[in-house]
Amino acid sequence: QVQLVESGGGLVQPGGSLRLSCTASGSRFYAMGWYRQAPGKQRELVAHIISGGNTNYADSVKGRFTISRNNAKNTLYLQMNSLKPEDTAVYYCNAVESTQAVHWGRGTQVTVSS
């Protein structure tokens, strides 16, 4: 059974940093990513990484966020720097198996506020 468990969310002031983690179990994944959903908005891609290491970022987070993964630990990370109030959202871990099966975590809340 595949499980994705996010951690690391919280309340941070504008300009601050947070590091999200997603611990995966039950399979190996071709691609993993972070999505976010703010109140009243659609879920959107934040960053994405495939097994070869290629990454892709939303324009709104380029230069501020860094996605990485530790394949040995089956763990995905998102380092978020220079956080802005508009980054406030629930952040979800996403993982895709080589069979194209898609899995989601339950999400972790990130709130950027003074």
What's the 3-state SS for the chain?
CCEEEEECCEEECCCCCEEEEEEEECCCCCEEEEEEECCCCCCEEEEEEECCCCEEECCCCCCCEEEEEECCCCEEEEEECCCCHHHCEEEEEEEECCCCCEEECCCEEEEECC
Query: Which one has a higher pLDDT value, 111 or 100?
Result: 111
pLDDT in tens, 33-90: 999 999 999 999 999 999 888 999 999 999 999 999 998 899 999 999 999 999 999 9
User: Tell me, what's the pLDDT at 52?
Assistant: 82
Query: Which one has a higher pLDDT value, 26 or 38?
Result: 38
User: Tell me, what's the pLDDT at 64?
Assistant: 98
User: Tell me, what's the pLDDT at 103?
Assistant: 97
